[in-house]
Chain A
Amino acid sequence: MKRVVITGAGTINALGHNVPETLEAMREGRCGIGALDVRDVDRLAIKIGGQVHGFESEGLFNRQQIALYDRFTQFALVAAREAIGQAGLSFSGDLAARCGVVLGTSGGGMQTLDENYRTVYEDGKNRVHPFVVPKLMNNAAASHVSMEFNLKGPSFTVATACASSNHAMSQAFQLVRSGAAPVMITGGTESMLCFGGIKAWEGLRVMSKDACRPFSANRNGMVQGEGAGVFVFEDYDHAHARGADILAEVVGFAMTSDASDIVMPSKQGAARAIAGALNDGRINPEDVGYINAHGTGTAANDKTECAAVADVFGQHADELMISSTKSMHGHLIGGTGAVELLACIMALRDGVIAPTIGYEEPDPECALDVVPNEAREAKIDVALSNAFAFGGLNAVMALRKV
């Protein structure tokens, strides 16, 4: 088995248009959630989100590309350019043939769907743009990343709702660990902040109208975000041989299915995934210093997640730190685990634990150290990233300091 390390990271999200901006915002506990700027917002009951502002496609893509790239694809490409640029890799010959890209997304080209449903249903037109299908398909982002960077190996898209990114990165991890690919580009992307995307979530009655306050007793639901996170997962020997800067090592992962309810989370399913990741990485529970929580800010998730952590870690649950950065960037659905992995890398590499902002009242059912409101300095060796999706599909990754 190969060791797998991260040699590049890229992102765009409500906190920043790149990794340094995002990490700075996390360190400062800044909130990227605000008033939504989408068409027909007056017909929405939920009017806030973690939206990416100031994103100018024109400087980043040419006219033909803009016509062909949904916003979720554009986000993925921006993040991939940053990650691959940092890694200092270019792909040609045998390396290109063996390396690929696995991205998570839940909704795919939702902006394209929304716009074109309007065209045919609301405007009554009988003709749509010829690129609707290639823009909206879930694998469009992964495919365009493969084209821009000449990645000709295993490439696909994973869609497991809120766990899409973690499942995608788990697949990339396996491909590198097994020796099938020396380098994999991986992460996730989502752009669901459009009228239809928000309206659909409203229906479930789990959204907050004012803020995402994970673990706080007065939390009242989740807030959607958008953006992408992309990483370069590389065989340690390959990275070492070329003198690459290593951000962190990916040491374990596990995935489980609750097999119980389509929306309600299960403590057992979550706990099995967390314990499984420790087992896979041969990690002592006591070595885990930080968990980036799924922490959606819903009543159901947060108490179930805390109970699962308490079950797995026993007494050590009171010593480790667990925070939800969704309080700052919102819930990026299929892209969320990727952006949240940045907080794990920051914890390991910079010794800074991102806070759970918006925390106002302790909840006895979430009685862990949730790093309330302010970032904290701490030296840690192992960090976990939790993702627990609707449908009961769970994926947990474990990272170690290098």
Chain B
Amino acid sequence: MSVKDKVIEIIAEQAVLDPSDVTMQSTLEGLGIDSLGLVESIFAIEEAFDISVPFNANDPSESDFDISSVASIVAGIEKLIADQS
């Protein structure tokens, strides 16, 4: 499974949606994922890819990890996998 497909699967599960309803352009807010859902998604991503995601819920915009869309999350994870492998 590609990074993109796995991330979409994790986010879809968190949003209680079918993976086909989650696109690269989707935002977490648009999918109805709240702050706890976000922290839970990041935990699932860390577990799935065995990486550590630098994310502080106090200031998501300043964390070194862009969560503005599914595409940016996928890109961020691909970089972290490359950096941390």
Contact = CB atoms under 8 A, between A and B. Distances in A.
Q: How large is the interface on B (under 10, 10 to 19, 20 to 34, 35 or more residues)?
A: 10 to 19
Contacts of B42: 205
Contacts of B34: 264
A221 interface: yes
Interface string A287-322: 000000000001110000000000000000000000
A264 B34 CA distance: 10
A97 interface: no
A220 B36 contact: no
A298 B57 CA distance: 9
B35 A220 contact: no
Contact of B59 (A203, A263, A264, A299): A299
Interface residues of A, number: 14
A263 B58 contact: no
Contacts of B59: 220, 299
Nearest to A209: B56
A299 B36 contact: no
Contacts of B62: 220
Contacts of A206: 56-58
B35 A219 contact: no
B49 interface: no
A145 B35 CA distance: 40
A186 B71 CA distance: 53
Nearest to B40: A203
Nearest to A220: B58
Of the listed residues A208, A219, A220, A300, the one surrounded by the most CB atoms of chain B closer than 10 A to its CB is A220
A219 B57 contact: no
A299 B58 CA distance: 5
A263 B57 CA distance: 12
B56 A220 contact: yes
Interface string B59-70: 100100000000
A301 to B, nearest CB: 10
Given A203-B43, A205-B42, A263 B56 contact: no
Contacts of B56: 205-206, 208, 220-221
Interface string A253-273: 000000000111000000000
Q: Which of A205, A220, A221, A299 has the most CB of B within 10 A?
A: A205
A204 interface: yes
A205 B57 contact: yes
Contacts of A204: 39, 57
A300 B43 CA distance: 20
Given A203-B43, A205-B42, A298 B36 contact: no
A208 B58 CA distance: 9
Interface string A187-224: 00000000000000001111010000000000111000
A362 to B, nearest CB: 16
B35 A263 contact: yes
Given A203-B43, A205-B42, A262 B36 contact: yes
Interface in B46-62: 55-59, 62
Contacts of A205: 39, 42, 55-57
A263 B36 contact: yes
Contact of A219 (B39, B55, B58): B58
A365 to B, nearest CB: 13
Contacts of B58: 206, 208, 219-221, 298-300
Nearest to A301: B58
Interface in A232-272: 262-264
Contact of A264 (B35, B43, B55): B35
Nearest to A221: B58
B53 to A, nearest CB: 9
Given A203-B43, A205-B39, A263-B36, 6 more contacts: A206-B57, A208-B56, A221-B56, A264-B34, A298-B58, A299-B57
Interface of B: 34-36, 39, 42-43, 55-59, 62
